[in-house]
Amino acid sequence: MTPPAPQQPHWLSRYATGYHTWRTITSHSGTSNGSRTLYKRPLGLAESGFNTDGVDYGGRADVNNTLQASVRCGGSSDPAAVRKHILLAWTCLRIAHPMLGARSYREDGVSGKRWFVVEQPGSVEEAIEMAGTGAERDSLVFVEDFYPGGVDGEDFYMHSQNAGRVIEPDRGLGRLFVLSTKRLPSSKNRGDGDDEDIKYRIHLLLITAHEIADGLSMYNWVSHLLRLLDTPTPHLIAQLSTHIVPSTLSSRLPPAQEDHFPPIPGNPARQRWFWAIVRILRHVRRPATSGFPNPLYNRSNPQTQTIQMPPKYPALLNYSPSFIPPLNTFITHTTLSPLATARLIALCRASKCSVGAGLFTLVGMSMMALYELDQPDIPLAERQPFVASFPVNPRPFIGYRDAESCMLIFSDDGVVLPFLPASLDVQGRFRLLVRSAHRQLGRFQKQSKQNGGSNGDENAIPPATRLLAHQYLNLLDMDAFKRPSHLHQRDQHSIHNPQGAYPAAPRGQATCGVSSVGDIRNLFPAENGVGTSMLGGPRARGGEFLVGSSTRVGGAHFSVSFDGNAVDRDLVGRWKGVIGALLEGEWHGYGEGKGVKGRL
């Protein structure tokens, strides 16, 4: 007799139901005493989308970040002691932020839902072994073990983005490569006699699956890693002894955001009406505005196939043709001068807008300039606006304040800025556009004062609840959209489209993607004249040009990952020049005197 087909879950089964609660189980294999405590939970909807990117599209969206810093590494001159200290610091980081040590698997291998699993170490020694360099774990890699002559860090990074996927989910979702450790000239400790202050210039590459890390959590983790590398070795061992206690580790396991979405108030009938109205509103809403096409696209000679990297690091990277990603990802970055950064901040303050909105605005103005140069004959009245897709941080809406794993959800509409020609005053353009960007971003960055309801009506739907309800439906759409067509029948745990006969209005086309993590100067201060540098980004999806912005010690910074097959790398260099020059040159106003109006 043929067993009945498994019933698909209801589309609301994951909304504020506790569906993704962590569970404690006991495994009876893999340890000397025959058992081990494991924590596991299903991936949330947002996490599942990024998992699909990585598993079904050759590591797409995996996050690769390089870090260069000056740290003590235990203050020893013995190379073996330095390696041990790095291992201890990495172990402490994995215990403090458990998703770095997590793995994922499908419960029945093919059609089951995917779970996160975090193992509870039974001792300090076991925690170190789990984080170590053995063939079974391989989460920490000292590159010099494979290439004693060393590697070029930037070149290895580019290969890691364009070779086969580095992450193996069933073994681990985070890996750390130690590219080099170079001892710096010694100095004397102040007030400590003749003791040397031994430091190393360390170059690291941290790679994670995107389902465990967003920009905020990544910066938080890397900053913590730097502090650990500067911590004396005995203190690291003491930390491990404290943090591996089961009650301590389990308390740090991050929730799936969908479990913390606010429940819909009212009785079941009222709740059904709410969801019916939300779905109809998604159907009848005006189609989202499309932006002008990215002027950096290579329209004359686009690459249709991935440019395969030469097998330069075969001991560490997979160059097999069957594992090559579907497109090339390249990274670039640029930092505004101190003068331009100061002007940016002054303009934002004068406009009573956030610096994050100012960074969005600069990206928009730079794209408008290149769009105008690329297509000068389009009449102003026919110019499309600049539209930036951007990820919404759900933390403020669900009361989750930690900078830990919490996947971001892309907004329906993006930030829409009207096209303004370069013939207008730079400052005037900026002030007009930044106010618009600030207003639009403000809807998604903090809870409204009315979130608790209005006029004493306990059944009123708060704005944050309406926002997250729309975002939940967006997640269902994206889950279906991302999954390859031949896999829809495979995954018995996918959810039917809740829109039914009333499909959601189509999304508009964004010019590019923009995000901001804010001011990170307190995370990566300059030290002893040798600054800390963190660069990188995710593997790109088709056509993407993703601009990550922040404020650093050196100035306002933009780090970009882009589809190297669709985007012209020479034009990217031109874009860097344009965005860097926007706030340079002669200036007027805000105490700098009245001079010639700034032009592009």
Residue type, 460: A
Closest CA to 313 of 180, 445, 152, 194: 152
pLDDT in tens, 454-473: 445 666 788 889 989 999 99
| 304 vs 302: CA distance, rounded Å | 6
**Region of residue 477 (left: phi > 0; alpha: psi -120 to 50; beta: else):** alpha
Residue type, 116: F
599 pLDDT above the threshold of 50: no
Structure tokens that stand for 376 in this block: 């000068």
135 pLDDT above the threshold of 90: no
Cβ(467)–Cβ(444) below 8 Å: yes
Residue type, 533: S
Q: What is the pLDDT of residue 237?
A: 95
Q: What is the pLDDT of residue 588?
A: 58
| 292 vs 102: CA distance, rounded Å | 41
Residues contacting 254, CB < 8 A, separation 6+:
98, 99, 402, 404, 405, 406
Exposed / middle / buried, residue 383 (Cβ in 10 Å: 0-12, 13-18, 19+): middle
Cβ(58)–Cβ(165) below 8 Å: yes
The sign of the torsion formed by the CA atoms of 61, 409, 371, 299 equals positive
411 pLDDT above the threshold of 80: no
Cβ(479)–Cβ(495) below 8 Å: yes
| 531 vs 70: CA distance, rounded Å | 8
Closest CA to 359 of 388, 330, 395: 388
Q: Hey, what domains does the chain have and what are their CATH numbers?
A: 23-254 (3.30.559.10), 260-297+329-524+535-581 (3.30.559)
Q: What is the pLDDT of residue 527?
A: 54
Closest CA to 118 of 405, 492, 317: 405
Residues contacting 185, CB < 8 A, separation 6+:
none
265 pLDDT above the threshold of 80: yes
pLDDT in tens, 40-91: 999 999 999 999 999 999 999 999 999 999 999 988 889 999 999 999 999 9
Q: Are strands 386-389 and 415-417 parallel, antiparallel or unpaired?
A: antiparallel
Residue 132: other Cβ atoms inside 10 A? 15
Residues contacting 346, CB < 8 A, separation 6+:
590
How many CA atoms lie within 13 Å of 421's alpha carbon, on the beta-carbon side? 11
Cβ(294)–Cβ(516) below 8 Å: no
Cβ(478)–Cβ(321) below 8 Å: no
The sheet carrying 555-563 orders its strands as: 329-335, 555-563, 545-552, 512-519, 386-389, 415-417
The sign of the torsion formed by the CA atoms of 481, 482, 487, 492 equals negative
Q: What is the pLDDT of residue 407?
A: 79
Range with lowest mean pLDDT among 202-211, 418-427, 461-470 = 461-470
